[in-house]
Amino acid sequence: MIFKLVGIAIIGVVTVSLLKTAKPEFAVFATIATGVVMVVTMLSALQSVILAFDDIVKKSGIDDSIFTAVLKIIGIGYLTEYSSSVATDAGCASIAQKLGFGGKIVIFLMSISIVTALIDVVSALVNV
Q: In the 3-class helix/strand/coil scheme, how is the chain assigned residue by residue? A: CHHHHHHHHHHHHHHHHHHHHHCHHHHHHHHHHHHHHHHHHHHHHHHHHHHHHHHHHHHHCCCHHHHHHHHHHHHHHHHHHHHHHHHHHCCCHHHHHHHHHHHHHHHHHHHHHHHHHHHHHHHHHHHC
State whether 113 and 100 are in the same domain.
yes
- pTM of this prediction? 0.72
At 59-112, the pLDDT tens digits run 877 777 888 888 899 989 989 998 898 888 878 899 999 999 999 999 999 999
Query: Which range of residues forms the domain containing residue 42?
Result: 1-60
Task: Give yes or no for residue 57 having a pLDDT over 70.
Answer: yes
State whether 50 and 8 are in the same domain.
yes
State whether 79 and 55 are in the same domain.
no
State whether 66 and 127 are in the same domain.
yes
State whether 50 and 76 are in the same domain.
no
Per-residue pLDDT, 120: 82
Mean pLDDT of the chain: 87
State whether 100 and 128 are in the same domain.
yes
